[in-house]
Structure 1
Amino acid sequence: MKADGPRIRQRRETSGQGLRRFARTAGISASHLSRIERGETDPQPEALARIATHLGCDIADLVPETNGDDSGNDHRRAGPDDDEGSRGTHP
């Protein structure tokens, strides 16, 4: 599950918890937590739930925000009702 690592780190540090101690209480290794916080890896949903629980927040508070648009999707993709019939071809 995609996580906002810097946000996790900020919340952990704000709560006054060190990385090793927090990782131990959340049931993950300190090295794994460090990689999550640096954005090098994403936690499994169960691990993210434990992190959220120990930070006193919801999982939604620890994942990247979405504003409802699919900015990562290519909106130029041809669909069944597309007049062109296939992507990238022009009359």
Structure 2
Amino acid sequence: MKAIRRARGIGLRRLAEAIGIDPGYLSRVENGKQGAGDGTLHRYAEELDVPIEAITHKETSRDQE
């Protein structure tokens, strides 16, 4: 997560403010010291303009054909 944020040139405080969370909390999440809820992760991915899988390594559910 941190590498993606840094590659986008976005500071931790700026991102935390943009997604409405405490910078300390975001730091702990990025450093693997605390988990984050799905809402936070989705806002994080949206703000960085990356798919959620880029930061969670989870697959999203897809409609079956």
TM-score of the superposed pair, with normalisation by structure 1:
0.60
TM-score of the superposed pair, with normalisation by structure 2:
0.82
**Deviations 1:7-35 (CA, angstroms, capped at 9, x unpaired):** x1001111111110111001111001000
How far, CA to CA, are the matches of 2:12 and 2:42 in structure 1?
Answer: 17
| Alpha-carbon distance, 1:64 to partner | 3.9
How far, CA to CA, are the matches of 1:43 and 1:64 in structure 2?
Answer: 14
Task: Provide the identity percentage.
Answer: 33
Structure 1 residues 1-91: aligned runs within 5 Å: 8-64=1-57
RMSD: 1.5
Q: How many pairs align?
A: 59
How far, CA to CA, are the matches of 1:16 and 1:30 in structure 2?
Answer: 16
- Point out where structure 2 has 5 or more consecutive residues left out of the alignment: 59-65
Runs of 4+ in 1 over 2 A off after TM superposition: none
How far, CA to CA, are the matches of 2:2 and 2:19 in structure 1?
Answer: 13
